[in-house]
């Protein structure tokens, strides 16, 4: 299999490192609008070669793994749709899928097949690209109405090389899941920081971060704000429902504090802890139907544009 990685961020570099474990059966070419990222990918050994030109990088590929922000991804897909020849799969790795799915529905049946994808990295340590983040990671695939069987088989073959677990899903359901599992925790994270910095003493509070706030600060430090906003707005209808539910829960917690109701607060925390334990047990016994936990999803790199250099 000849694979081209377009957009060399955290996810793509991890994919490249995983594929390089199958040297002889898979070759990997890289392309990124940022030439520094191509050099970084070669330094890390994630690609066999890089090319500055998109079409030249994709020439002869069996599968193009497209991992760019939404606007850049659409530009690349339009170019590839008109210029690629032969049986090629373009797998568009995006956190939010509905807009791309609508575009794919308007694309006629052709040898060049477009499939939506969302590969969720399973971080268990330092945020550096690594093949191990893909082992048993959920790999959502959104097959359009025009998707050919051979194209889906090729995507499944890629997942096999990565050690990821394929989950077929439609775009609407996927984006609803991501609103709850990724975007609500993210919105809560940056809103929490904005609340904490309102009063005097933010620097002092930042010096004595607890584990929870350390996680939030580390997350926000990796984000591409434009990519985040694009996805929040694209999925706003789903996210607003979750934000409303979250606001209700915050208001209920506030009222328990006003009432000085120790018993109810303890019960509330115990219920939340039990829910987390149940979710954790479910993920340990995961099947291909499982969905990602919210805090694991929070670290997926969907909005972070790449490894530290």
Q: Indicate which CATH number applies to the domain containing 152.
A: 3.40.50.720
CA dihedral (291, 292, 295, 297) in degrees, to 10, reads: -120
Beta bridge partners of 6: 31, 66
Instruction: Please tell me which residue, 280 or 226, carries the higher pLDDT value.
Output: 226
In this structure, are 62 and 202 located in the same domain?
no
Output the pLDDT for position 30. 97
| pLDDT bracket for residue 70 (50, 70, 90) | confident
Residues 92 and 186 grouped into a single domain: no
* pLDDT range class, residue 306, cuts 50, 70, 90: very low
Whether 19 and 151 map to the same domain: the answer is yes
Range with lowest mean pLDDT among 42-56, 167-181, 207-221: 207-221
Give the number of domains in the chain: 2
User: Quick one: 129 and 44 in the same domain?
Assistant: yes
Average pLDDT over residues 174-199: 91
**Percent of the chain beyond pLDDT 70?**
88
Domain membership flag for residue 93:
yes
> Do residues 101 and 208 both lie within one domain?
no
260 or 297: which leads in pLDDT = 260
Pair (46, 158) in one structural domain: yes
Q: Are residues 187 and 95 in the same domain?
A: no
Tokens of 304: 């972070």
pLDDT recorded at residue 238: 97
Q: pLDDT band for position 108 (50/70/90)?
A: low
Three-class secondary structure assignment of the chain: CEEEEECCCHHHHHHHHHHHHHECCEEEEEECCCHHHHHHHHHHCCCCEECCCHHHHHCCCCEEEECCCHHHHHHHHHHHHHHCCCCEEEEEECCCCHHHHHHHHCCCCCCEEEEEEEECCCCCCCCCCCHHHHCCCEEEEECCCCCCHHHHHHHHHHHHHHCCEEEECCHHHHHHHHHHHHHHHHHHHHHHHHHHCCCCCHHHHHHCCCHHHHHHHHHHCCECHHHHHHHHHHCHHHHHHHHHHHHHHHHHHHHHHHCCCHHHHHHHHHHHHHHHHHHHHHHHCCCCCCCCCHHHHHCCCCCECCCCC
Residues 178 and 97 in one domain: no
Domain assignment of residue 279, given as a range: 173-298
Count other Cβ atoms within 10 Å, centred on residue 99: 17
Residue 145 near residue 68, CB atoms below 8 Å: no
Residue 248's pLDDT is what?
Answer: 98
Q: How far apart are CA 13 and CA 158, in angstroms?
A: 15
- The model scores a pTM over 0.95: no
The Cα 282–Cα 98 span in angstroms is: 28
Per-residue pLDDT, averaged over 134-141, amounts to 95
- Which single residue is written with the structure tokens 């509070």? 205
Q: Say whether pLDDT at 216 is over 50.
A: yes
Say if residue 195 is in the same domain as residue 290.
yes
Residues 9 and 140 in one domain: yes
């Amino acid at each position: 299999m000849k694979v081209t990685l377009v957009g060399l961020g955290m996810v793509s570099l991890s994919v490249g490192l995983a594929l390089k474990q199958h040297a002889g059966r898979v070759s990997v070419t890289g392309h990124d609008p940022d030439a520094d990222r191509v050099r970084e990918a070669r330094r890390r050994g994630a690609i066999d070669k890089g090319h500055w030109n998109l079409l030249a990088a994709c020439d002869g590929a069996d599968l193009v793994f497209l991992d760019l922000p939404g606007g850049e991804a659409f530009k690349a897909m339009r170019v590839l749709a008109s210029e690629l020849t032969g049986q090629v799969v373009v797998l568009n790795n995006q956190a939010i899928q509905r807009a791309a799915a609508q575009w794919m529905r308007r694309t006629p049946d052709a040898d060049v097949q477009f499939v939506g994808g969302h590969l969720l990295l399973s971080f268990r340590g330092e945020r550096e690209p690594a093949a191990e983040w893909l082992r048993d990671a959920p790999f959502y695939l959104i097959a359009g109405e025009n998707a050919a069987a051979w194209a889906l088989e090729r995507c499944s073959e890629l997942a096999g090389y990565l050690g990821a677990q394929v989950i077929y899903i439609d775009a609407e359901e996927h984006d609803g899941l991501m609103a709850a599992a990724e975007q609500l925790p993210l919105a809560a994270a940056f809103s929490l920081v904005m609340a904490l910095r309102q009063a005097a003493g933010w620097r002092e509070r930042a010096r004595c971060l607890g584990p929870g706030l350390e996680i939030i600060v580390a997350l926000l430090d990796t984000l591409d704000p434009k990519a985040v906003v694009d996805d929040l707005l694209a999925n706003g209808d789903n996210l607003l429902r979750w934000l409303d539910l979250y606001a209700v829960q915050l208001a209920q917690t506030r009222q328990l504090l006003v009432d000085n109701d120790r018993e109810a607060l303890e019960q509330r925390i115990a219920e939340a802890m039990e829910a987390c334990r149940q979710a954790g047990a479910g993920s340990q016994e995961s099947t291909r139907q499982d969905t990602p936990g919210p805090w694991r999803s929070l670290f997926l790199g969907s909005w972070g544009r790449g490894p530290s250099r």
